[in-house]
Amino acid sequence: MSIGMNIRHDSAVTHVAGESVFIDDRPEVRGEVHVGVVGSPIARGRLISIDSKEALAHPDCLGVYTAADFHAKAWGTIKHDQPFLVVEEISYMQEAVCLIASKRRDSVEAIKKLIKVKAEETPGVFSIDEAKAKGEVLYRAASPFMQGNVDAALAQAPHCLKGVFRCGGQEHFYLESQAAIAYPLENGQVEVHSSSQHPSETQRVVAEALGIPFHQVVCVVKRMGGGFGGKESQGAPIAAYAALVANRLKRAARIVLTKDQDMMITGKRHPFQNEYEVGFDGDGRLLAVKAILQSDGGAYLDLSSSILERAMFHLDGAYYLPNVHIEGVCYRTHHHPHTAFRGFGGPQGNMTIESILEDVAHFLKKDASEVRRINLYSGQNLRTPYGQVLENNLLPEIHERLLKSANYQKRLKELTEFNSKRTGKIRGISVTATKFGISFTARFLNQANALVNLQLDGTLQVSTGATEMGQGVNTKIQQIVAHAFGLPPESVRVMPTSTEKNHNTSPTAASSGSDLNGAAALLAANRIKNRLIPLARAMFNGLSFDPTLEFEAGKEADKEADKEADTVSDSGIQFQEGRVLDSLSGKSIRLQELIQTAYQNRISLGSYAHYKTPDLGFDKTKVTGRAFNYYTQGMAVSEVEIDEYTGEMKVRRADILMDLGRSLNPGIDRGQTTGAFIQGMGWVTSEHLVYDEKRNLLSHSPTTYKIPNVQDTPREFHVDFIENPHNDRNVHGSKAVGEPPFLLGTSVWTAIKHALSYRANGKEIHLVSPATPEVILMELTRLKGM
């Protein structure tokens, strides 16, 4: 009933009213202190001393804390290689050196300035090329992905192209900066409220930082003001800073980074530099692709190994590669450690093949959409470079329908004519695809647990490990549970995420928050229903209940519920519109009456369940097994116009068609699709990270870092979903949506490439990402031979 409906976002009203509580909206408690982070003044070198005398003399300063105050010196999601605070070696500009605690927020910056950090600078490594020359490898993929015989196919191919695809990093630009408040409790316990996508990791990191057992720490996440991957690992040390100060001073401690500081300190999307060789025939059919993906991991591992692997998994894009060889290396540089960002390496892999296909079409003077069409996964060509075979693949249909609805052929013709008129503007149009693998590639993360409490008035409280960052996971879980009990969505509340209710949870990431936690919540709801159904059956059979006597079936109820809850026991009993119906007798009772009777008969009205995605298991050494549960697919057509004199670009129109299975909430999914597309477009066109020669980030504020604004959105924008009721691999036939459409922003970049092809005079086009106006203008100038 509530499945597939446009139920409004569970925070819609409070967001608009300004009542939603983010970390810094939490009221100050008595004695609360403010924590500031002092960053390194050099990008690489050795810490010689920290002079905190003057700072400690400040009337508001309550303490200065260094690495020596931490029980564990390092943290890290995959490998414990990141110091909480610099011990001796400094590895990036603004790396955290020490903490200060202040009585007043207003004094934090003044106290920080009184700290004298002495450091000895040594030359750092700041590019993939330098790191490669010095052999600074953070991680190398276990085995290459291989199919067929790439060298033989390259040697025999009628045409070959070689090149390097380069793309830049990206700042997450969540509206709520990294933030946490820690409350010291009795017996050395600590409760941390954190803006984090990964409460379980935050709990662990806080415990390790303080040297206390995990059960002494509770991490609560009500919501984030955006995460986008930037709060998956990086929220944890921030929470640990607050917890350390709270633990030392026995006062509540709050840390809220300023926007500028957040932008300077925290890691970003990985820049990549991908070398490739590609062989193809006269029609543009890809015969062989050899690629080595190289990422800039920054100073520490963070999630870089998994991100590199996801880039490798997405190098094929939506296209069948009969002969392929893909390798990956992540290099260590003296940048902030790069981290998860929407798409998690997928965009950097996918964009490489889309760039190659644009080049192939340009080389053969063919329509790039036709070159893409003949390369799409289809018919018998469904095997990926890592051996997984696509099921229920809609790519050819999506391509056909989208080109038709976007009027592609007609617009291509019109634009070609427009470009011949020499108006000082050139236009380009391009279609690109997304085929995003849904599952964490680290198998152990594909699990979730849920707690469902049915109250006596027939309302429900649901708790899972999912964290709300605006993406609507709470709303989707609300719908799933409401649907299970035949109740309106208002009858269900999704409660704040807390590690005391849900244990050992995975980060809300890999677009799988609703998939995993929604499935767990459904299992828990089904367990309760399986206890209620025998009671309802007995009631319909005319048994009357004396609350002083035990209902016989009640004894069976728990056993029944503990059976696998994949299905509800089939008994002709249905939960609909607040009532319980018996399809055998046609009788019905109010759900609340059933609940009351159950309670009187001591039948449990709460349940817990654990879900794990079935049939997963990719062996990355042997490159065999299923890496993904299924794929979310889609395509976009974008048309751009470039001013030939300034390099300025605008998107005239964009059309998107996504396969989201049976959408749980089309309104939310539309928001995710448009938002992800625009964020992806920003990455490839205007979001340019600029550093000075000392590696200070110059683009560290909204005035110097250009994210898309409302005027940058496509003048005409169509978002549509294709019908697909066949995804039986996920809850209610839905598909994950969070990251996949991010990859479609690429179509704006390839459309720029297409526009440039009209002025290329037969030359190869060299375009980097982001294609800022400067980049476009310089390439145009080169192509025109000026």
Q: Scan for tokens 């050099």, then name that residue.
A: 42
What are the C-alpha distances in Å from 129 to residues 294, 442, 452? 10, 29, 53
Residue 616 binds which of ligand MOS, ligand MTE, ligand QUE, none (CB < 5-8 A, kind-dependent): none
State the nearest-atom distance from the C-beta of 659 to ligand MTE, in Å: 16
How are strands ordered across the β-sheet holding 579-582? 573-576, 579-582, 588-590
Give the one residue of 145, 228, 436, 611 binding ligand MTE; rule: CB under 6 A. 228
Give the one residue of 738, 741, 745, 770 binding ligand MTE; rule: CB under 6 A. 738
Give the one residue of 2, 77, 170, 261 binding ligand QUE; rule: CB under 6 A. 77
Q: Map the footprint of ligand QUE across residues 285-314, applying CB under 6 A.
A: 303, 306, 310
Give the C-alpha separation, 650 to 647, whole Å: 10
The reply to whether 169 sits near ligand MOS by the rule CB under 6 A is no
State the nearest-atom distance from the C-beta of 702 to ligand MOS, in Å: 22
SS3 (DSSP) at 703:
coil
Q: Scan for tokens 């890290």, then name that residue.
A: 76
The reply to whether 508 sits near ligand MTE by the rule CB under 6 A is yes
Q: Map the footprint of ligand MTE across residues 460-489, applying CB under 6 A.
A: 469-471, 473
Pick 57 or 175: Cβ nearer ligand MOS = 175
Give the one residue of 509, 539, 636, 751 binding ligand QUE; rule: CB under 6 A. 509
Tokens at 374, concatenated: 């003949």
Look at residues 55, 101, 336 and name the one whose alpha carbon lies nearest to residue 241.
Answer: 101
Give the one residue of 442, 495, 543, 722 binding ligand QUE; rule: CB under 6 A. 442
State the nearest-atom distance from the C-beta of 209 to ligand QUE, in Å: 17
Number of neighbouring beta carbons within 10 Å of residue 278: 24
Q: Map the footprint of ligand MOS across residues 728-747, applying CB under 6 A.
A: 739
Active site residue 739: yes
Give the one residue of 512, 613, 734, 746 binding ligand MTE; rule: CB under 6 A. 512
State the nearest-atom distance from the C-beta of 175 to ligand MTE, in Å: 9
Pairing verdict, β 286-296 and 272-280: antiparallel
Number of neighbouring beta carbons within 10 Å of residue 123: 10
Contacts of 508 (CB under 8 A, 6+ apart): 197, 198, 227, 465, 466, 467, 469, 473, 517
Please write down the HEC assignment for all residues of 11-50. Answer: CHHHHHHCCCCCHHHCCCCCCCEEEEEEECCCCCEEEEEE
Burial of 567: CB neighbours in 10 Å, binned 0-12, 13-18, 19+: exposed
Contacts of 181 (CB under 8 A, 6+ apart): 23, 26, 32, 192, 193, 242, 252, 253, 254, 255
Q: Scan for tokens 């549970």, then name that residue.
A: 481
Q: Map the footprint of ligand MTE across residues 339-368, applying CB under 6 A.
A: 342
* Residue at shortest CB range from ligand MOS: 229
Give the one residue of 84, 319, 344, 630 binding ligand MOS; rule: CB under 6 A. 344
The reply to whether 739 sits near ligand MTE by the rule CB under 6 A is yes
Give the C-alpha separation, 638 to 651, whole Å: 7
Total binding residues toward ligand MTE, as defined by CB under 6 A: 20
Pick 247 or 471: Cβ nearer ligand MTE = 471
State the nearest-atom distance from the C-beta of 307 to ligand QUE, in Å: 8
Pick 472 or 486: Cβ nearer ligand MTE = 472
Give the one residue of 271, 347, 465, 507 binding ligand QUE; rule: CB under 6 A. 507
The reply to whether 485 sits near ligand MOS by the rule CB under 6 A is no
Give the C-alpha separation, 49 to 65, whole Å: 13
Give the C-alpha separation, 445 to 344, whole Å: 15
User: Is the CB of residue 211 less than 8 Å from the CB of residue 244?
Assistant: no
The reply to whether 229 sits near ligand MOS by the rule CB under 6 A is yes
The reply to whether 266 sits near ligand MTE by the rule CB under 6 A is no
- Which of 277, 639, 739, 779 is an active site residue? 739
Give the C-alpha separation, 569 to 553, whole Å: 14
Tell me which residues touch ligand QUE (CB under 6 A): 77-78, 232, 303, 306, 310, 340, 344, 440-442, 445, 507, 509-510
Tell me which residues touch ligand MOS (CB under 6 A): 197, 229, 232, 340-342, 344, 509-510, 739
Please give the positions annotated as active site: 739
Tell me which residues touch ligand MTE (CB under 6 A): 226-229, 342, 469-471, 473, 508-514, 672, 736, 738-739
